[in-house]
Amino acid sequence: MDFSARSTAIVLYLATVAATATAQPGRLSRPRGGIEIGMAAPSLLVSDASGPQLHLGFAPVIGGIAAWPLGPRLKSMLALRASAAVLRGSQGNAEWDAGRSSQIALQLGVEQTLGTRFGVSLAVGPTWLFGPADVTPFRAASSALHWGGSGGASWRVSQKRPIAATLAVDGFMIGGSSLNDPIAEPAWVRRVVVGVRYGG
């Protein structure tokens, strides 16, 4: 399955979930809002065996969420998150500053509570990645949109307030989106995000 086919499949999946939710209004209550703050660990953005590599540095992450209860321990979640990171290039023993990158992700998913405090979640959705126009993979305008997802866990730290510590691994597919994409072969970009969530 090529990149376009995967993108179409994800869009159809999200549309099906949204249609199912709107077709059963009795099941969905008023959404509960929340906010998230966190820090993403450094990660590899572009790897070229015969050329330079591009790394994302530590990235502060902030986001807003809306959650709809689907059952006693299950809820659907829509999250919008933004982050920014310093870009570092490297080749051999040489390293250099490659500018800054910003990232916006919109994800739809579900979270299952296990016990009274622990929860696990899965989500999918588009990610928009921006950076210097003279640095790969930002050379082509068509390379800004990527598809991906995340998997995570949460631990509610208070029984009286909706505060939870979160740990997630998110990722998106980069490269191969078009003939003009500066990265010909698609690859996954992954990062680990540690944070705190209030509400949701």
Confidence bin at 22 (pLDDT 50/70/90) = very low
Q: With contact defined as beta carbons under 8 Å apart, do 126 and 108 qualify?
A: no
Structure tokens at 166: 């979160």
Q: 28-52: per-residue pLDDT in tens?
A: 578 899 999 999 999 998 886 667 8
Rounded to the nearest integer, the mean pLDDT of the chain is 84
Domains of the chain: 31-199 (2.40.128.100)
Residue 73 confidence (pLDDT) above 80: yes
Q: 91-108: per-residue pLDDT in tens?
A: 888 889 999 999 999 999
**How many CA atoms are closer than 13 Å to the CA of 6, on its beta-carbon side?**
17
Q: 3-17: per-residue pLDDT in tens?
A: 445 555 555 555 555
Q: Residue 163's pLDDT is what?
A: 96
Mean pLDDT of 110-127: 95
Q: Residue 85's pLDDT is what?
A: 96
pTM: 0.80
Q: 120-170: per-residue pLDDT in tens?
A: 999 999 999 999 988 878 876 556 888 999 999 999 998 889 999 999 999
Q: Residue 1's pLDDT is what?
A: 45
